[in-house]
Amino acid sequence: MRPNNLNILVIGSGGREHALAWKLAQSNRVANVYCAPGNAGMSMIGEIIPIKPLEFDKIIQFSRERAVDLVVVGPETPLIAGLADALESEGVAVFGPSRAAAQIEGSKVFTKQLLAENGITTGTFTVFSNPDEAASEIRQHFAEGRGPLVIKADGEAAGKGVVIAENEDAALQAIDQMMVRKVFGASGERIIIEEYLVGQEASLMVFADGEKVAPMTPAQDYKRAYDGDKGPNTGGMGCYSPVPALTPDLYDFAVKNIIQPTLSALMKKGIHYKGVLYAGLILTEDGPKLLEYNCRFGDPETQVVLPLLETDLVDVMEAVVEGRLDEIEIKWYNRRAVCVVLASGGYPGDYDTGFPINGLADAESAGAIVFHAGTKIADGQIVTAGGRVLGITAISDTFADAVSKAYSAVEKIRFQNMYYRKDIGARVL
Ligand code: GLY
């Protein structure tokens, strides 16, 4: 990459991508941040480019025309479909794993088998491609009075292909939906039935340069829609970082015994993982275990992690792309970050959009960073355009102050049907 005056193209349009564009724009090495397709918040950072994440040819053409030095891919779908490979083959530098490496998120069966073959700690599991065999396993499990089961469709299922079944009926219904009625399409051709693990979850993301890793400050996501961890699963309703429950010993254990061996296992297959590897961990009584891997930054995790990164993100991404993470010292602020997601009422189910959003400047004046997700500009006004609309992040020296600052800023914002959880960060107060 050139040393300075860099042109960076961020692919995606969520809170994660706004946080990426925000952090990249702070680098004095960057001249332009382009956002494709971006959102209303990203339009205040850089030029919005009306290209969608799966329009590979247009992304390549734009990168050539505007002399893009680095493409930063936010979401998993284009990575799983091979965007990094397509850009690399055209000589465009890209931050994000190859299609082969992105299988770590794209195929749960691939990942589970990789972990099992290499003795990496995860829940016990069985893979099924026949619904009758899966149903028979389920009946036996519940007849023996064992606990809940987790049922996962193999492929990408827009985050919806995981069911925690408390009883036989729920488990059989999941099999019927995934394998017989194929509501997640080809993702239901193979499924995993997995032991249900109990414990607090933590998101541990690392930068990976193909061989070496540099862990980030960990985060904890609130996945359920309603207070008290009730209701349906969402993409994430809020987050905090760091995670006191992931003590330094557990953190080191997870890096040394789960993440690093995974990179080595991939290398044995000839796959050099470059980008962000996100380990969804569960902190069980027997120590951290891996629930799942994602091939990208988490959302909303990125909205608390990047504000705590002291080092220039461009320097880190360049080290990843050039395979020299060992040559860079990555520093983090010793502070606390909390993000509260403001959603459209009804999310993760049906919701209406197009409502004007007020109070954005007041929320920033209250000391928060306002990351946009589902927003757009219509008739000169910022309006809602998605399920998760905004992420309100506050940073402080204590969690108590960060939570209080985040919620004070939240109170400044108004849009019709606005919904948010009231208990983000309560666990660490
Ligand atoms: N917050 C969960 C995820 O990014 O997958």
Counting from 1 in the atom list of ligand 1, the atom nearest the Cα of 16 is 4
Please indicate, yes or no, if residue 113 is contained in any of the structural domains.
no
Cβ–Cβ < 8 Å for 388, 235: yes
Residue nearest atom 4 of ligand 1, based on CA coordinates:
298
Is residue 104 one of the residues assigned to a domain? no
* Domain closes at, from 327, 351, 379: 327
Residue nearest to atom 5 of ligand 1 (CA): 298
Residues 300 and 342 in one domain: no
- Tell me: the pLDDT tens digits for 111-132? 999 999 999 988 889 999 999 9
Which atom of ligand 1 lies at the shortest distance from residue 301's CA?
Answer: 1
How far apart are the CA of 5 and the centre of ligand 1, in A? 32
The pLDDT tens digits for 238-280 are 999 999 999 999 999 999 999 999 999 999 999 999 999 999 9
- Residue 323: pLDDT band (50, 70, 90) is very high
Q: Say what the pTM is.
A: 0.96
pLDDT in tens, 17-35: 999 999 999 999 999 999 9
The answer on 297 and 221 residing in a single domain is: yes
Q: Tell me what percent of the residues of the chain surpass a pLDDT of 70.
A: 99
| Position 341 in a domain | yes
Given this model, what pLDDT does residue 155 score? 83
Ligand 1 nearest atom to the CA of residue 299, by list position:
4
Do residues 328 and 315 make contact, with C-beta atoms less than 8 angstroms apart?
yes
Same domain, 297 and 371: no
Of all protein residues, the one whose alpha carbon is nearest to atom 3 of ligand 1 is 298
pLDDT digits (tens, 9 = 90+) for 141-191: 999 999 999 999 998 766 678 889 999 999 999 999 999 999 988 889 999
* Structural domain ending residue among the three candidates 292, 327, 362: 327
What pLDDT, in 10s, does the model give residues 348-391?
Answer: 999 999 999 999 999 999 999 999 999 999 999 999 999 999 99
Task: Provide the domain count of the chain.
Answer: 4
> Confidence band (pLDDT; 50, 70, 90) for 36?
very high
Same-domain status, 212 and 308: yes
Q: Are residues 344 and 418 in the same domain?
A: yes
* Ligand 1 center–CA 220 separation, angstroms: 10
Which atom from ligand 1 is nearest to the alpha carbon of 239?
1
Contact present, 387 and 380 (Cβ < 8 Å): no
- Which one has a higher pLDDT value, 157 or 69? 69
Q: What is the CATH number of the domain that holds 88?
A: 3.40.50.20
User: pLDDT tens across 7-18, in order?
Assistant: 999 999 999 999
Q: Is 16:298 a contact under the CB 8 Å cutoff?
A: yes
Same domain for 302 and 206: yes
341: domain range? 336-428
Within a domain: 194: no
SS in 3 state form for 196-230? CCCCEEEEEEEEEEECCEEECCCEEECCEEECCCE
Query: Ligand 1 mean position to 223 CA, how many Å?
Result: 8
Quote the ligand 1 centre to 350 CA distance (angstroms).
20
Q: Express each pLDDT in 49-59 by its tens digit.
A: 999 999 999 99
* C-alpha 232 to ligand 1 mean position (Å): 14
Distance separating alpha carbons of residues 258 and 277, to the nearest angstrom = 12
Q: CB of 16 within 8 A of CB of 30?
A: no
Q: What is the pLDDT of residue 159?
A: 64
Supply the CATH number for residue 260's domain.
Answer: 3.30.470.20
Q: Examine residue 253 and state whether it is found in any structural domain, yes or no.
A: yes
